[in-house]
Amino acid sequence: MEIFIDSANIKEIGKWLEYGIADGVTTNPSIMLKDGVYDIEKGAKEIARLIKPRPLSVEVTSNNLDEMSTQARQFASWADNIVIKIPQINTDGVPCYGIINKLEASGIKVNATVALSFGQVILAAKSKATYISIFAGRVTDEGGDASLIIRNSVEWLSRWKYTSKIIIGSIRSVGDVLTAALAGAHIITIPPQFIDKMADHRNTRATVEQFLGDAQKALEMMRQMKKAGSRAK
């Protein structure tokens, strides 16, 4: 299973990259805005350079299908490792699978984003999207069963030998990460604060503290034994 960093914060991305945890990065216009990245081109180029050859997902910012297509080609030209996020449908409910299919046919990798149902996953896979992002948190917000959608999607892709990879996004807690992992997600994209939480445990801290304390005590014992030995000579 791969872990992507769901962030545009270059410091956080660099940190998890250095730790060997980050296999890629996902962004969207809301994440860019929250992380103070107002110039998408500049920000995307900087992240893409830092993480290459790992993939960076950058989302189109238009609701118009022709504009999405033009933007996708423009964004993809910024770096070889940029993957274009195209939503399943636009705000009018118009399916975007035709754009996904054309982009993939022309060699541009697509992350078919904002999937909230198994049905959408099937369509995105048929349109040959490299990645399909299921927004688990938003599924659960509505009372849906994110685990079931993840499990069904992964099993269905494997049964019919589709190569699309399922990314689980919209992570709201460490519990969401573990649920997605157990449901068979290929990739989970995690906001950095939850990776910090995943690493931490108060009993791990306490145990490490105990070991360090005992190591100090052992050193002190050695010092005292040496002293007593040299006095006896």
Restricting to residues 169-228, name those near ligand E4P by CB under 6 A.
169-170, 189
CA distance 225 to 217: 12
Containing H/E element for 101?
helix 97-105
84 residue type, one letter: I
- Under the criterion CB under 6 A, does residue 135 sit at the interface with ligand E4P? yes
Which residue's C-beta sits nearest to ligand E4P?
169
CA distance 168 to 203: 29
In angstroms, what is the minimal distance from the CB of 185 to ligand E4P?
12
197 a catalytic residue: no
Q: Which residues of 140-178 are buried (b: 16+ CB within 10 A; e: fewer)?
A: beeeeebbebbbbbbeebeeeebebbbbbbbbeebebbe
- Under the criterion CB under 6 A, does residue 137 sit at the interface with ligand E4P? yes
**Contact letters (x/-) for ligand E4P, 153-172, by CB under 6 A?**
----------------xx--
Return the number of the residue (6 or 104) whose C-beta is nearest ligand E4P.
6
CA distance 63 to 47: 25
In angstroms, what is the minimal distance from the CB of 7 to ligand E4P?
9
Binding residues (CB under 6 A) for ligand E4P: these are 6, 26, 28, 30-31, 133, 135, 137-138, 169-170, 189
Q: Which residues are catalytic?
A: 85
